[in-house]
Amino acid sequence: MGIKTALPTAELGLYSLVLSGALAYAGRGLLEASQDGVHRKAFRESVQPGWEYIGRKMDVADFEWVMWFTSFRNVIIFALSGHVLFAKLCTMVAPQLRSWVYAAYGALAVMGTMGPWYLLLLLGHCVSLYVASLLGQPWLCLGLGMASLASFKLDPLISWQNGFVTGTFDLQEVLFQGGSGFTVLRCTSFALENCAHPARRYSLADLLKYNFYLPFFFFGPIMTFDRFHAQVNQVEPVRREGELWNIRAQAGLSVVAIMAVDIFFHFFYILTIPGDLKFAGRLPDSALAGLAYSNLVYDWVKAAVLFGVVNTVARLDHLDPPQPPKCITVLYVFAETHFDRGINDWLCKYVYDHIGGEHSAVIPELVATVATFAITTLWLGPCDIVYLWSILNCFGLNFELWVQKLAEWGPLARIEASLSEQMSRRVRAVFGAINFWAIIMYNLVSLNSLEFTELVARRLLLTGFPQTTLAVLFVTYCGVQLVKERERTLALEEEQRQDKEKPE
Protein backbone atom coordinates (compact mmCIF):
# COMPACT_ATOMS: atom_id res chain seq x y z
CA MET A 1 0.00 0.00 0.00
CA GLY A 2 1.42 3.40 -0.95
CA ILE A 3 1.95 5.99 1.74
CA LYS A 4 -0.02 9.20 1.36
CA THR A 5 1.94 12.36 1.98
CA ALA A 6 0.73 15.04 4.36
CA LEU A 7 1.37 17.66 1.69
CA PRO A 8 -0.22 17.72 -1.76
CA THR A 9 1.99 16.45 -4.59
CA ALA A 10 1.79 19.81 -6.36
CA GLU A 11 3.04 21.61 -3.26
CA LEU A 12 5.92 19.18 -2.84
CA GLY A 13 6.77 19.63 -6.52
CA LEU A 14 6.82 23.41 -6.08
CA TYR A 15 9.15 23.14 -3.09
CA SER A 16 11.50 20.85 -5.04
CA LEU A 17 11.50 23.19 -8.02
CA VAL A 18 12.24 26.27 -5.90
CA LEU A 19 15.04 24.51 -4.02
CA SER A 20 16.65 23.10 -7.19
CA GLY A 21 16.43 26.44 -8.98
CA ALA A 22 17.94 28.33 -6.05
CA LEU A 23 20.85 25.90 -5.75
CA ALA A 24 21.50 26.07 -9.49
CA TYR A 25 21.40 29.89 -9.46
CA ALA A 26 23.79 30.11 -6.49
CA GLY A 27 26.05 27.50 -8.10
CA ARG A 28 26.28 29.51 -11.30
CA GLY A 29 27.30 32.57 -9.30
CA LEU A 30 30.02 30.57 -7.50
CA LEU A 31 31.27 29.13 -10.80
CA GLU A 32 31.56 32.59 -12.33
CA ALA A 33 33.29 33.92 -9.22
CA SER A 34 35.78 31.04 -9.29
CA GLN A 35 36.57 31.74 -12.96
CA ASP A 36 36.96 35.47 -12.33
CA GLY A 37 39.19 35.08 -9.29
CA VAL A 38 41.49 32.27 -10.41
CA HIS A 39 44.27 34.69 -11.41
CA ARG A 40 44.03 36.93 -8.33
CA LYS A 41 47.22 37.33 -6.33
CA ALA A 42 45.40 36.26 -3.14
CA PHE A 43 44.47 32.94 -4.81
CA ARG A 44 47.96 31.89 -5.90
CA GLU A 45 48.92 29.87 -2.82
CA SER A 46 45.68 27.92 -2.53
CA VAL A 47 44.66 27.54 -6.21
CA GLN A 48 47.31 25.47 -7.95
CA PRO A 49 47.65 23.55 -11.24
CA GLY A 50 45.13 20.77 -11.63
CA TRP A 51 43.51 19.55 -14.86
CA GLU A 52 45.71 21.45 -17.27
CA TYR A 53 44.22 19.66 -20.29
CA ILE A 54 40.96 21.54 -19.77
CA GLY A 55 42.53 24.61 -18.24
CA ARG A 56 41.23 24.12 -14.70
CA LYS A 57 43.20 24.80 -11.54
CA MET A 58 42.39 23.11 -8.22
CA ASP A 59 41.48 24.53 -4.82
CA VAL A 60 44.08 23.10 -2.41
CA ALA A 61 43.24 25.27 0.60
CA ASP A 62 42.40 22.23 2.76
CA PHE A 63 45.80 20.85 3.74
CA GLU A 64 44.41 17.66 5.29
CA TRP A 65 42.31 16.67 2.29
CA VAL A 66 45.19 17.25 -0.14
CA MET A 67 47.63 15.25 1.99
CA TRP A 68 45.22 12.35 2.58
CA PHE A 69 44.60 11.86 -1.13
CA THR A 70 48.04 12.62 -2.56
CA SER A 71 51.28 11.77 -0.73
CA PHE A 72 49.64 10.11 2.28
CA ARG A 73 47.12 8.14 0.20
CA ASN A 74 49.46 5.23 -0.48
CA VAL A 75 50.42 4.97 3.21
CA ILE A 76 46.75 4.78 4.25
CA ILE A 77 45.96 2.18 1.59
CA PHE A 78 49.03 0.13 2.50
CA ALA A 79 48.34 0.18 6.25
CA LEU A 80 44.62 -0.61 5.97
CA SER A 81 45.23 -3.28 3.32
CA GLY A 82 47.70 -4.99 5.66
CA HIS A 83 45.16 -4.84 8.46
CA VAL A 84 42.45 -6.38 6.26
CA LEU A 85 44.82 -9.13 5.07
CA PHE A 86 45.97 -10.19 8.54
CA ALA A 87 42.43 -9.89 9.91
CA LYS A 88 41.09 -12.16 7.17
CA LEU A 89 43.80 -14.77 7.71
CA CYS A 90 43.21 -14.75 11.46
CA THR A 91 39.44 -15.02 11.05
CA MET A 92 39.91 -18.06 8.82
CA VAL A 93 42.54 -19.81 10.97
CA ALA A 94 41.94 -18.74 14.58
CA PRO A 95 38.95 -16.37 14.98
CA GLN A 96 39.29 -16.45 18.77
CA LEU A 97 42.62 -14.62 18.43
CA ARG A 98 41.50 -11.90 16.05
CA SER A 99 41.30 -9.16 18.72
CA TRP A 100 44.96 -9.88 19.60
CA VAL A 101 45.96 -9.70 15.94
CA TYR A 102 44.15 -6.36 15.55
CA ALA A 103 45.97 -4.92 18.58
CA ALA A 104 49.40 -6.26 17.61
CA TYR A 105 49.15 -4.99 14.04
CA GLY A 106 47.86 -1.61 15.23
CA ALA A 107 50.62 -1.17 17.82
CA LEU A 108 53.30 -2.07 15.25
CA ALA A 109 51.79 0.36 12.73
CA VAL A 110 51.76 3.16 15.32
CA MET A 111 55.33 2.42 16.33
CA GLY A 112 56.48 2.31 12.70
CA THR A 113 54.75 5.62 11.93
CA MET A 114 55.38 7.68 15.06
CA GLY A 115 58.27 5.88 16.77
CA PRO A 116 58.60 3.65 19.86
CA TRP A 117 58.74 6.55 22.32
CA TYR A 118 55.35 7.81 21.19
CA LEU A 119 53.96 4.29 21.66
CA LEU A 120 55.36 4.21 25.21
CA LEU A 121 53.83 7.64 25.89
CA LEU A 122 50.36 6.40 24.95
CA LEU A 123 50.89 3.21 26.97
CA GLY A 124 51.59 5.43 29.98
CA HIS A 125 48.24 7.18 29.58
CA CYS A 126 46.50 3.82 29.12
CA VAL A 127 48.03 2.37 32.29
CA SER A 128 47.20 5.45 34.38
CA LEU A 129 43.52 5.33 33.41
CA TYR A 130 43.44 1.56 33.87
CA VAL A 131 44.75 1.95 37.44
CA ALA A 132 42.18 4.69 38.10
CA SER A 133 39.39 2.40 36.89
CA LEU A 134 40.36 -0.20 39.53
CA LEU A 135 39.31 2.28 42.23
CA GLY A 136 35.74 2.21 40.93
CA GLN A 137 35.16 5.99 41.10
CA PRO A 138 33.64 7.35 37.86
CA TRP A 139 34.30 10.99 38.80
CA LEU A 140 37.98 10.20 39.29
CA CYS A 141 38.20 8.41 35.92
CA LEU A 142 36.47 11.22 34.08
CA GLY A 143 38.58 13.85 35.82
CA LEU A 144 41.83 12.02 35.07
CA GLY A 145 40.70 11.50 31.48
CA MET A 146 40.07 15.21 31.02
CA ALA A 147 43.43 16.01 32.63
CA SER A 148 45.13 13.63 30.19
CA LEU A 149 43.26 15.24 27.29
CA ALA A 150 44.29 18.70 28.51
CA SER A 151 47.93 17.58 28.50
CA PHE A 152 47.64 17.09 24.72
CA LYS A 153 45.87 20.41 24.15
CA LEU A 154 47.67 22.92 26.38
CA ASP A 155 51.28 24.07 26.64
CA PRO A 156 53.81 23.34 28.01
CA LEU A 157 52.75 19.69 28.32
CA ILE A 158 51.76 19.34 24.66
CA SER A 159 55.19 20.54 23.50
CA TRP A 160 56.93 18.18 25.89
CA GLN A 161 54.86 15.17 24.79
CA ASN A 162 55.25 16.08 21.12
CA GLY A 163 58.97 15.54 21.63
CA PHE A 164 58.32 11.82 21.98
CA VAL A 165 57.58 11.60 18.24
CA THR A 166 60.68 10.64 16.26
CA GLY A 167 61.30 12.02 12.80
CA THR A 168 59.41 14.73 10.90
CA PHE A 169 56.83 14.41 8.14
CA ASP A 170 53.91 16.38 6.75
CA LEU A 171 51.09 14.81 8.76
CA GLN A 172 53.02 14.37 11.99
CA GLU A 173 50.99 17.00 13.88
CA VAL A 174 47.67 15.64 12.55
CA LEU A 175 48.53 12.05 13.52
CA PHE A 176 49.90 13.14 16.90
CA GLN A 177 46.75 15.07 17.78
CA GLY A 178 44.43 12.40 16.40
CA GLY A 179 46.11 9.38 17.96
CA SER A 180 46.60 11.08 21.33
CA GLY A 181 43.12 12.59 21.60
CA PHE A 182 41.26 9.47 20.53
CA THR A 183 43.44 7.36 22.86
CA VAL A 184 42.39 9.46 25.86
CA LEU A 185 38.69 9.23 24.98
CA ARG A 186 38.93 5.48 24.45
CA CYS A 187 40.77 4.97 27.74
CA THR A 188 38.22 7.13 29.55
CA SER A 189 35.38 5.07 28.05
CA PHE A 190 37.12 1.88 29.22
CA ALA A 191 37.60 3.28 32.74
CA LEU A 192 33.98 4.40 33.05
CA GLU A 193 32.68 1.05 31.78
CA ASN A 194 34.97 -0.73 34.24
CA CYS A 195 33.44 1.33 37.05
CA ALA A 196 29.93 0.61 35.79
CA HIS A 197 30.46 -3.18 35.86
CA PRO A 198 32.25 -3.94 39.15
CA ALA A 199 31.22 -7.59 38.98
CA ARG A 200 33.21 -8.02 35.79
CA ARG A 201 36.59 -6.37 35.85
CA TYR A 202 38.13 -5.82 32.44
CA SER A 203 41.86 -6.34 32.05
CA LEU A 204 44.62 -4.08 30.78
CA ALA A 205 44.82 -6.37 27.75
CA ASP A 206 41.17 -5.54 26.95
CA LEU A 207 42.05 -1.84 27.02
CA LEU A 208 45.07 -2.27 24.74
CA LYS A 209 43.09 -4.34 22.23
CA TYR A 210 40.43 -1.63 22.25
CA ASN A 211 42.81 1.30 21.89
CA PHE A 212 45.16 -0.03 19.22
CA TYR A 213 42.55 -1.11 16.71
CA LEU A 214 44.22 0.61 13.75
CA PRO A 215 41.26 1.69 11.56
CA PHE A 216 39.95 3.86 14.43
CA PHE A 217 43.26 4.82 16.02
CA PHE A 218 44.31 8.04 14.26
CA PHE A 219 41.09 9.38 12.74
CA GLY A 220 38.24 7.75 14.70
CA PRO A 221 35.36 7.31 14.97
CA ILE A 222 35.04 6.48 18.65
CA MET A 223 33.22 3.28 19.59
CA THR A 224 32.44 3.11 23.29
CA PHE A 225 34.26 0.25 24.99
CA ASP A 226 31.19 -1.82 25.82
CA ARG A 227 30.13 -1.97 22.16
CA PHE A 228 33.62 -2.67 20.84
CA HIS A 229 34.37 -5.36 23.42
CA ALA A 230 31.12 -7.22 22.78
CA GLN A 231 31.56 -7.19 19.01
CA VAL A 232 35.27 -7.92 18.72
CA ASN A 233 35.07 -10.92 21.05
CA GLN A 234 32.50 -12.88 19.05
CA VAL A 235 34.10 -16.29 18.68
CA GLU A 236 32.32 -17.16 15.44
CA PRO A 237 31.14 -13.91 13.83
CA VAL A 238 28.43 -14.39 11.21
CA ARG A 239 27.48 -11.88 8.55
CA ARG A 240 23.88 -10.91 8.03
CA GLU A 241 22.28 -11.54 4.67
CA GLY A 242 23.30 -8.86 2.18
CA GLU A 243 25.94 -7.37 4.50
CA LEU A 244 28.82 -7.86 2.06
CA TRP A 245 26.84 -6.13 -0.66
CA ASN A 246 26.25 -3.18 1.70
CA ILE A 247 29.98 -3.04 2.50
CA ARG A 248 30.85 -2.93 -1.20
CA ALA A 249 28.21 -0.27 -1.76
CA GLN A 250 29.64 1.84 1.07
CA ALA A 251 33.14 1.52 -0.36
CA GLY A 252 31.83 2.51 -3.80
CA LEU A 253 30.04 5.55 -2.34
CA SER A 254 33.27 6.67 -0.65
CA VAL A 255 35.13 6.47 -3.97
CA VAL A 256 32.35 8.39 -5.75
CA ALA A 257 32.40 11.07 -3.02
CA ILE A 258 36.18 11.47 -3.37
CA MET A 259 35.83 11.88 -7.13
CA ALA A 260 32.96 14.34 -6.68
CA VAL A 261 35.01 16.50 -4.30
CA ASP A 262 37.94 16.42 -6.72
CA ILE A 263 35.68 17.62 -9.56
CA PHE A 264 34.11 20.23 -7.30
CA PHE A 265 37.49 21.64 -6.27
CA HIS A 266 38.44 22.14 -9.93
CA PHE A 267 35.38 24.29 -10.64
CA PHE A 268 34.36 25.88 -7.33
CA TYR A 269 36.93 27.51 -5.05
CA ILE A 270 34.69 27.48 -1.97
CA LEU A 271 37.60 27.25 0.49
CA THR A 272 39.79 29.89 -1.15
CA ILE A 273 37.21 32.61 -1.86
CA PRO A 274 36.33 33.25 1.85
CA GLY A 275 40.00 34.01 2.51
CA ASP A 276 39.82 37.05 0.20
CA LEU A 277 37.14 39.12 1.93
CA LYS A 278 37.43 41.98 -0.56
CA PHE A 279 36.63 39.62 -3.42
CA ALA A 280 33.96 37.73 -1.44
CA GLY A 281 32.28 41.02 -0.60
CA ARG A 282 31.65 41.63 -4.33
CA LEU A 283 29.76 38.36 -4.78
CA PRO A 284 26.00 38.50 -5.36
CA ASP A 285 23.92 37.76 -2.27
CA SER A 286 22.78 34.41 -3.68
CA ALA A 287 26.35 33.30 -4.39
CA LEU A 288 27.48 34.40 -0.94
CA ALA A 289 24.69 32.39 0.71
CA GLY A 290 25.60 29.41 -1.47
CA LEU A 291 29.25 29.80 -0.47
CA ALA A 292 28.39 29.69 3.24
CA TYR A 293 26.17 26.65 2.72
CA SER A 294 28.81 24.91 0.59
CA ASN A 295 31.43 25.24 3.32
CA LEU A 296 29.28 23.21 5.71
CA VAL A 297 28.35 20.67 3.05
CA TYR A 298 32.02 20.16 2.22
CA ASP A 299 32.90 19.61 5.88
CA TRP A 300 30.14 16.99 6.08
CA VAL A 301 31.39 15.26 2.91
CA LYS A 302 34.94 15.31 4.27
CA ALA A 303 33.81 13.62 7.50
CA ALA A 304 31.58 11.18 5.61
CA VAL A 305 34.46 10.13 3.33
CA LEU A 306 36.94 9.71 6.17
CA PHE A 307 34.56 7.72 8.35
CA GLY A 308 33.21 5.86 5.32
CA VAL A 309 36.67 4.49 4.50
CA VAL A 310 37.52 3.33 8.03
CA ASN A 311 33.97 2.10 8.67
CA THR A 312 34.19 -0.09 5.56
CA VAL A 313 37.27 -1.77 7.02
CA ALA A 314 35.59 -2.07 10.42
CA ARG A 315 32.57 -3.79 8.87
CA LEU A 316 34.88 -6.26 7.15
CA ASP A 317 36.09 -7.03 10.69
CA HIS A 318 32.50 -7.83 11.75
CA LEU A 319 32.10 -4.59 13.71
CA ASP A 320 29.15 -2.23 13.67
CA PRO A 321 30.82 1.22 13.82
CA PRO A 322 29.04 4.54 14.46
CA GLN A 323 27.06 5.84 11.52
CA PRO A 324 28.50 8.64 9.36
CA PRO A 325 27.33 12.17 10.14
CA LYS A 326 23.88 13.22 9.01
CA CYS A 327 24.00 15.51 5.98
CA ILE A 328 23.80 19.19 6.87
CA THR A 329 21.11 19.58 4.20
CA VAL A 330 18.60 17.63 6.31
CA LEU A 331 19.44 19.31 9.62
CA TYR A 332 17.30 22.03 11.06
CA VAL A 333 17.67 21.33 14.80
CA PHE A 334 20.81 21.78 16.90
CA ALA A 335 20.19 18.51 18.75
CA GLU A 336 21.09 16.54 15.60
CA THR A 337 24.01 18.68 14.44
CA HIS A 338 27.26 16.74 14.78
CA PHE A 339 29.98 15.98 12.26
CA ASP A 340 31.47 13.10 14.28
CA ARG A 341 28.78 10.72 15.48
CA GLY A 342 31.29 8.65 17.44
CA ILE A 343 32.34 11.56 19.66
CA ASN A 344 28.70 12.60 19.86
CA ASP A 345 27.77 9.11 21.13
CA TRP A 346 30.63 9.26 23.66
CA LEU A 347 29.54 12.68 24.96
CA CYS A 348 25.87 11.72 25.12
CA LYS A 349 26.49 8.50 27.04
CA TYR A 350 28.97 9.78 29.62
CA VAL A 351 28.06 13.46 29.99
CA TYR A 352 25.02 14.87 28.17
CA ASP A 353 22.43 12.14 28.85
CA HIS A 354 23.92 11.36 32.25
CA ILE A 355 23.34 14.92 33.47
CA GLY A 356 20.39 16.01 31.32
CA GLY A 357 18.23 12.90 31.71
CA GLU A 358 15.34 13.10 29.26
CA HIS A 359 16.30 16.67 28.27
CA SER A 360 12.89 18.04 29.17
CA ALA A 361 13.84 20.25 32.14
CA VAL A 362 15.44 23.63 31.52
CA ILE A 363 18.05 23.74 34.32
CA PRO A 364 19.40 20.16 33.97
CA GLU A 365 19.56 20.69 30.20
CA LEU A 366 21.53 23.89 30.66
CA VAL A 367 23.98 22.17 33.02
CA ALA A 368 24.29 19.18 30.66
CA THR A 369 24.99 21.30 27.60
CA VAL A 370 27.52 23.50 29.41
CA ALA A 371 29.39 20.41 30.65
CA THR A 372 29.24 18.80 27.19
CA PHE A 373 30.55 21.84 25.35
CA ALA A 374 33.23 22.40 27.99
CA ILE A 375 34.62 18.95 27.19
CA THR A 376 34.14 19.59 23.46
CA THR A 377 36.10 22.84 23.79
CA LEU A 378 38.93 20.94 25.43
CA TRP A 379 38.80 18.28 22.70
CA LEU A 380 39.00 20.86 19.90
CA GLY A 381 41.73 22.84 21.64
CA PRO A 382 40.87 25.95 23.69
CA CYS A 383 41.16 29.21 21.76
CA ASP A 384 38.98 32.26 21.10
CA ILE A 385 37.24 30.82 18.03
CA VAL A 386 36.47 27.53 19.78
CA TYR A 387 35.12 29.41 22.81
CA LEU A 388 32.81 31.42 20.56
CA TRP A 389 31.71 28.32 18.61
CA SER A 390 30.92 26.46 21.84
CA ILE A 391 28.96 29.35 23.34
CA LEU A 392 26.89 29.83 20.18
CA ASN A 393 26.04 26.14 19.77
CA CYS A 394 25.37 25.72 23.47
CA PHE A 395 22.95 28.64 23.28
CA GLY A 396 21.30 27.20 20.15
CA LEU A 397 20.74 23.82 21.79
CA ASN A 398 19.17 25.40 24.88
CA PHE A 399 17.17 27.93 22.88
CA GLU A 400 15.41 25.06 21.11
CA LEU A 401 14.22 23.72 24.47
CA TRP A 402 13.12 27.20 25.58
CA VAL A 403 11.09 27.66 22.41
CA GLN A 404 9.58 24.18 22.83
CA LYS A 405 8.57 25.00 26.42
CA LEU A 406 7.10 28.30 25.26
CA ALA A 407 5.11 26.51 22.53
CA GLU A 408 3.69 24.18 25.18
CA TRP A 409 2.54 27.16 27.24
CA GLY A 410 -1.26 27.27 27.53
CA PRO A 411 -2.22 30.24 25.26
CA LEU A 412 0.25 29.34 22.51
CA ALA A 413 -0.64 25.65 22.69
CA ARG A 414 -4.32 26.52 22.23
CA ILE A 415 -3.51 28.74 19.26
CA GLU A 416 -1.57 25.95 17.58
CA ALA A 417 -4.33 23.45 18.37
CA SER A 418 -6.77 25.69 16.51
CA LEU A 419 -4.63 25.58 13.37
CA SER A 420 -4.96 22.91 10.72
CA GLU A 421 -2.26 20.22 10.52
CA GLN A 422 -0.74 21.74 7.38
CA MET A 423 -0.76 25.27 8.80
CA SER A 424 0.90 24.09 12.01
CA ARG A 425 3.48 22.33 9.88
CA ARG A 426 4.14 25.49 7.89
CA VAL A 427 4.60 27.59 11.03
CA ARG A 428 7.09 25.07 12.40
CA ALA A 429 8.89 25.02 9.04
CA VAL A 430 9.37 28.80 9.25
CA PHE A 431 11.08 28.39 12.62
CA GLY A 432 13.03 25.44 11.18
CA ALA A 433 14.30 27.64 8.32
CA ILE A 434 15.52 30.29 10.76
CA ASN A 435 17.14 27.59 12.88
CA PHE A 436 18.84 26.10 9.81
CA TRP A 437 20.64 29.34 9.07
CA ALA A 438 21.54 29.76 12.74
CA ILE A 439 23.24 26.35 12.52
CA ILE A 440 25.12 27.43 9.38
CA MET A 441 26.24 30.76 10.86
CA TYR A 442 27.27 29.33 14.24
CA ASN A 443 29.36 26.56 12.66
CA LEU A 444 30.80 28.79 9.94
CA VAL A 445 32.70 30.56 12.72
CA SER A 446 34.92 27.52 13.31
CA LEU A 447 34.91 26.06 9.79
CA ASN A 448 36.02 29.28 8.12
CA SER A 449 36.63 32.54 9.96
CA LEU A 450 34.84 35.07 12.14
CA GLU A 451 35.40 37.79 9.53
CA PHE A 452 33.75 35.77 6.76
CA THR A 453 30.85 34.89 9.09
CA GLU A 454 30.36 38.59 9.85
CA LEU A 455 30.35 39.37 6.11
CA VAL A 456 27.69 36.74 5.40
CA ALA A 457 25.54 37.84 8.34
CA ARG A 458 25.75 41.51 7.37
CA ARG A 459 24.87 40.86 3.73
CA LEU A 460 21.99 38.46 4.42
CA LEU A 461 20.45 40.25 7.41
CA LEU A 462 21.30 43.95 7.04
CA THR A 463 22.26 45.23 3.60
CA GLY A 464 20.20 42.54 1.88
CA PHE A 465 17.08 43.10 3.96
CA PRO A 466 14.28 42.50 3.13
CA GLN A 467 14.63 41.01 -0.38
CA THR A 468 17.64 38.74 0.16
CA THR A 469 16.64 37.83 3.71
CA LEU A 470 13.13 36.75 2.72
CA ALA A 471 14.31 34.99 -0.45
CA VAL A 472 16.89 32.92 1.44
CA LEU A 473 14.41 32.08 4.19
CA PHE A 474 11.78 31.04 1.62
CA VAL A 475 14.21 28.73 -0.18
CA THR A 476 15.25 27.25 3.18
CA TYR A 477 11.58 26.91 4.20
CA CYS A 478 10.98 24.83 1.06
CA GLY A 479 13.93 22.62 1.97
CA VAL A 480 12.68 22.13 5.54
CA GLN A 481 9.23 21.16 4.25
CA LEU A 482 10.79 18.52 2.00
CA VAL A 483 12.90 17.18 4.88
CA LYS A 484 9.88 17.02 7.18
CA GLU A 485 7.90 15.15 4.54
CA ARG A 486 10.74 12.68 4.07
CA GLU A 487 10.98 12.13 7.84
CA ARG A 488 7.24 11.55 8.04
CA THR A 489 7.34 9.06 5.17
CA LEU A 490 10.21 7.13 6.74
CA ALA A 491 8.39 7.06 10.10
CA LEU A 492 5.24 5.67 8.48
CA GLU A 493 7.25 3.05 6.61
CA GLU A 494 8.91 1.99 9.86
CA GLU A 495 5.51 1.72 11.57
CA GLN A 496 4.19 -0.43 8.74
CA ARG A 497 7.28 -2.65 8.91
CA GLN A 498 6.84 -3.16 12.64
CA ASP A 499 3.14 -3.92 12.19
CA LYS A 500 3.97 -6.62 9.65
CA GLU A 501 6.53 -8.20 11.98
CA LYS A 502 4.10 -8.42 14.88
CA PRO A 503 2.80 -11.94 15.52
CA GLU A 504 -0.82 -12.59 14.58
pLDDT at 2 over 50: no
pLDDT tens-digit series, residues 333-364 = 887 777 788 898 999 999 999 898 888 889 99
What whole-number distance in Å separates Cα of residue 289 and Cα of residue 159? 40
Rg of the Cα atoms in the chain = 25
pLDDT tens-digit series, residues 38-48 = 888 888 888 88
| Residue closest to 213 by CA, chosen among 179, 169, 188 | 179
Averaged pLDDT for residues 365-378: 94
What whole-number distance in Å separates Cα of residue 347 and Cα of residue 373? 9
The conformational region for residue 357 under phi > 0 = left, psi -120 to 50 = alpha, else beta, is: left
Categorize the per-residue pLDDT at 1 as very low, low, confident or very high, splitting at 50, 70 and 90.
very low
Query: What is residue 3's predicted lDDT score, i.e. its pLDDT?
Result: 42
The model's pTM is 0.89
% of the chain beyond a pLDDT of 90: 46
pLDDT tens-digit series, residues 175-234 = 888 899 999 999 999 999 999 888 788 999 999 999 999 999 988 899 999 999 999 888
pLDDT at 458 over 90: yes
Query: What is residue 142's predicted lDDT score, i.e. its pLDDT?
Result: 95
Query: What is residue 355's predicted lDDT score, i.e. its pLDDT?
Result: 92
Buried b (16+ CB within 10 A) or exposed e, 182-191: bbbbbbbbbb
Q: What angle (nearest 5°) sits at the alpha carbon of residue 377, between those of residues 374 and 378?
A: 90
- Which residues lie below 8 Å from residue 362, measured CB to CB, with a gap of 6+? 398, 401, 402, 405
**Contact predicate 491/17, CB 8 Å:** no
Residue 236 DSSP label: S
The overall average pLDDT reported for the chain is 88
pLDDT tens-digit series, residues 10-39 = 888 888 999 999 999 999 999 999 998 888
What whole-number distance in Å separates Cα of residue 353 and Cα of residue 85? 39
Averaged pLDDT for residues 269-297: 92
DSSP for 241-266, written as a single string = TTHHHHHHHHHHHHHHHHHHHHHHHH
Please give the C-alpha separations between residue 432 and each of 106, 119, 378, 425, in angstroms, as whole numbers: 44, 47, 30, 10
pLDDT tens-digit series, residues 88-147 = 888 788 888 888 999 999 999 999 888 899 999 999 999 999 999 999 999 999 999 999
| Residue closest to 74 by CA, chosen among 171, 141, 194, 205 | 171
**Contact predicate 285/459, CB 8 Å:** yes
Please give the C-alpha separations between residue 147 and each of 264, 369, 378, 489, in angstroms, as whole numbers: 41, 20, 10, 46
Query: What is residue 42's predicted lDDT score, i.e. its pLDDT?
Result: 85
% of the chain beyond a pLDDT of 70: 97
Categorize the per-residue pLDDT at 428 as very low, low, confident or very high, splitting at 50, 70 and 90.
confident
Query: What is residue 76's predicted lDDT score, i.e. its pLDDT?
Result: 80
The domain spans of the chain are: 9-54+247-501, 73-232
Q: Which residues pair with 47 in a beta bridge?
A: 59
Interstrand relation of 56-59 and 47-51 (parallel, antiparallel or unpaired): antiparallel
Averaged pLDDT for residues 230-259: 85
**Contact predicate 320/91, CB 8 Å:** no
φ and ψ at 266, to 5 degrees?
-85, -15
